[in-house]
Amino acid sequence: MRGSYDVVINSRRLQYKFTIRRNITVIRGQSATGKTTLVEMIRDCNENGIDSGITIKCDKECVVLSGRKWERDIAELENSIVFIDEGHNFVLSQEFAEAIKKTSNYYVIVTRERLENIPYSVDEIYGIRNSGKYGKLQASYHEFYRLYENIPMGQPKPIKKLLTEDSRAGYQFFSEVGTDKGVTCASAGGKSNVAAAIMACHEPVLVVADGAAFGPEMERITELMKLRDGIYLYLPESFEWLILQSGLITKENLTDILATPYDYIDSEKYFSWEQFFTTILQDSTRGTLYQYVKNKLNPVYLHEANKMKILAVMKPLMNRWGW
């Protein structure tokens, strides 16, 4: 499944209105914010139809997944938006991650847990808030909001260290940038190690990671940021996305792809958007001067003019530290 889908759920006293753009959406937040009510309304509508007093407007079927037979139910679902309420521990398992990886569904998971087996985006972690009343009956209107859309990072301090999540092409590029700026660059050796690497660093550090799959780490990282100044984040979709945004690569429809990736990314083929952008970059550069290999960066990307084009995508961040 691909595409962006508006969902509107109504009862006499409640309305939920939101948009689902990726295969994985996570809803977090404290109790009594309406998370479980949302899932219960979908279940009630599916089970009781018009008698429930609930309507669901969406171009795709919205269903609820629960219970011991979740594996069987996933196998039977196609082209649906699947909602899972919190309290179902199967979402924490590797088996669940494998089961949903190549399906044609989108999944909306309500949980306060860290789903370390699922590569979900920092942009698709939401809370639910009451946005007031609507209509003649003064029913309550609920909407989603991104939990990590505006992360306060305080006053900028001179960066002393760059930290990437792995040691592949992105690290190799930012290591070169660090050398130019007189800044050390290190690899955390995997996104799950980023928090520990930050704690081991006692000087101002800029973390560069693939936002498309960094969602499981965000709570830990933002908690560290509350405890200590001098932790800064730059979370593009991926390093490959940065290159594609730079203008170095020519591909038909690339502007459209970058503007609305959800219209092109098939959930059956790509578990995360990072995988999609890597494939696009590799396919677009194969046999050319800019041929891209993820494990070892092509030196052409380190030529000064090319490097500056890639860094120009980060211009607001670069300006923040006078780079």
pLDDT tens digits along 249-277: 999 999 999 999 999 999 999 999 999 99
Go through the domains of the chain in sequence order and give each one's CATH number: 5-146 (3.40.50), 161-320 (no CATH)
Q: Which helix (H) or strand (E) holds 92?
A: none
Q: Which amino acid is at 27?
A: I
Residue 248: band (very low, low, confident or very high) from pLDDT cuts 50, 70, 90? very high
Mean pLDDT of 145-171: 87
Residue 77: band (very low, low, confident or very high) from pLDDT cuts 50, 70, 90? very high
For the chain, the average pLDDT equals 92
The answer to whether residue 31 scores a pLDDT higher than 80 is no
Side by side, the strands of the sheet bearing 14-20 are 55-57, 5-10, 14-20, 139-146, 125-134, 24-27, 106-110, 80-84, 61-64
Q: Which amino acid is at 303?
A: H
Q: Which amino acid is at 199?
A: M
205-227 confidence digits (pLDDT tens): 999 999 999 999 999 999 999 99
DSSP code string of 189-252: SSGGGHHHHHHT--S-EEEE--TTT-GGGHHHHHHHHHH-S-EEEE--S-HHHHHHHTT----T
Residue 138: the pLDDT is 46
Residue 133: band (very low, low, confident or very high) from pLDDT cuts 50, 70, 90? low
Residue 235: band (very low, low, confident or very high) from pLDDT cuts 50, 70, 90? very high
Residue 150: the pLDDT is 78
Mean pLDDT of 81-96: 96
Residue 9: band (very low, low, confident or very high) from pLDDT cuts 50, 70, 90? very high
Euclidean distance between CA atoms 199 and 214, whole angstroms = 18
Residue 323: the pLDDT is 63
Euclidean distance between CA atoms 160 and 78, whole angstroms = 49
Work out the percent of the chain whose per-residue pLDDT is above 70.
Answer: 95
Residue 321: the pLDDT is 63
The answer to whether residue 162 scores a pLDDT higher than 80 is yes
Q: Using the CB atoms, write b or e for 229-265: b if 16+ within 10 Å.
A: ebbbbbbbbbbbbbbbbbebbeeeeeeebbeebbeeb
H helices of the chain, where? 35-48, 70-76, 94-100, 169-181, 194-199, 218-227, 239-245, 254-259, 273-285, 304-312, 315-320
C-alpha distances in Å from residue 127, one per residue of 25, 89, 109:
11, 20, 12
43-65 confidence digits (pLDDT tens): 999 999 999 999 999 999 999 99
Mean pLDDT of 228-246: 95
Residue 29: the pLDDT is 80
Q: Are 50 and 30 in contact (CB under 8 A)?
A: no
Of residues 30 and 24, the one with the higher pLDDT is: 24
Taking residue 165's Cβ as centre, other Cβ atoms within 10 Å add up to 24
Residue 322: the pLDDT is 62
Residue 136: band (very low, low, confident or very high) from pLDDT cuts 50, 70, 90? very low
Euclidean distance between CA atoms 156 and 136, whole angstroms = 48
Q: Are 27 and 83 in contact (CB under 8 A)?
A: no
Residue 135: band (very low, low, confident or very high) from pLDDT cuts 50, 70, 90? very low
Q: Are 21 and 103 in contact (CB under 8 A)?
A: no
Residue 320: the pLDDT is 67
Q: Are 194 and 234 in contact (CB under 8 A)?
A: no
Q: Are 29 and 82 in contact (CB under 8 A)?
A: no
Residue 139: band (very low, low, confident or very high) from pLDDT cuts 50, 70, 90? low
Residue 137: the pLDDT is 42
Euclidean distance between CA atoms 170 and 238, whole angstroms = 9
